[in-house]
Amino acid sequence: MSGLLGRRVKVDMHMHSERSPDSRLRPAVQARRIREVGLDVACATDHNTIEGGLRLRELADGFRVIVGEEILSRDGEIVGLFLERAVPRGLSAEETIDRIRDQGGVVVVPHPFSRNRMNHIRRPALERIAARVDAIEVFNAREAFTSDNLRAGAFAAEHGIARAVGSDAHRASEIGAAWLEMDDFDDRDGFVAALGTGTVRGSLSGVVVHLWTRWDVLRKRIGRRFGGEPGR
């Protein structure tokens, strides 16, 4: 069911915690920031794990959590939502989608035309799987170039695919940078149906956030060496 009592909700469909190798954001801090910026639904999409999402769901108070994962397939990154088990990295795009679907999950392609990421999905693979994708991320707040988001929006429109929006936050200050304002929903099917009612909101986070990410990656490597970071 979608559009519960005509209510609209703010949904950030892409964010990270310390369970991603390039973030040091603790779930407790993440939860506090989500409440501060007034998000109704947070999709937790750590790299190649659902551990951060499961922890955030335990901490959720005043907002809902959709457990997800940003999975590095052989063809590039694919996000699975509504997951209860991690999907292994390194599979083909098609196999990755199969694993997501086996759980009744939702398939989202993040930042497909990004020029500032190495692991975005390539155009030939995107064309191959387009018919099996529930949503394309048409606004990612961490894009360095506005035109990359615009290209994603054009692809989604051309193929009749719903739009996704995410802050792609790796630090607390980035949460709230972008969201999809959409009809409320009460389950996975309602979520997919409500995506079509969404309005894109947000602004780019700027290039400095990528420098902070590099710094956080370095600090985590140092921390792991001396036993100061959580295990992966």
List all residues 6 or more positions away from 145 whose beta carbon is below 8 Å from its beta carbon.
115, 116
Average pLDDT over residues 93-117: 97
Q: Where are the domains of the chain?
A: 7-225
Percent of the chain with pLDDT over 90: 85
Is residue 83 within 8 A of residue 67, CB to CB? The reply is yes
List all residues 6 or more positions away from 20 whose beta carbon is below 8 Å from its beta carbon.
46, 47, 49, 52, 70, 170
pLDDT of residue 232: 36
List all residues 6 or more positions away from 177 whose beta carbon is below 8 Å from its beta carbon.
141, 167, 169, 202, 203, 204, 205
Bridge pairing between strands 8-15 and 41-44: parallel
How long is the chain?
232
Average pLDDT over residues 107-111: 98
CATH of domain 7-225: 3.20.20.140
Beta bridge partners of 202: 178
Half-sphere exposure of residue 195, counting CA atoms within 13 Å on the CB side?
A: 24
pLDDT of residue 132: 98
Is residue 138 within 8 A of residue 161, CB to CB? The reply is no
For residue range 1-17, list pLDDT tens digits in order: 455 658 999 999 999 99
pLDDT of residue 205: 84
Q: In 74-177, at which residue ranges do the beta strands (DSSP E only) sit?
A: 76-81, 106-109, 135-140, 162-166
Question: Residue type at 62?
Answer: G
Question: Residue type at 8?
Answer: R
For residue range 165-174, list pLDDT tens digits in order: 999 999 999 9
**Dist CA 100 CA 140 (whole Å):** 22
For residue range 88-100, list pLDDT tens digits in order: 999 999 999 999 9
**Total-model pTM:** 0.90
120: nearest Cα among 153, 87, 143, 146? 143
HEC letters along 79-98? EEECCCCCCCCCCCHHHHHH
**Dist CA 86 CA 103 (whole Å):** 10
pLDDT of residue 231: 40
Average pLDDT over residues 166-192: 97
Is residue 191 within 8 A of residue 9, CB to CB? The reply is no
Average pLDDT over residues 196-212: 84
- pLDDT category at 72 given cuts 50, 70, 90 is very high
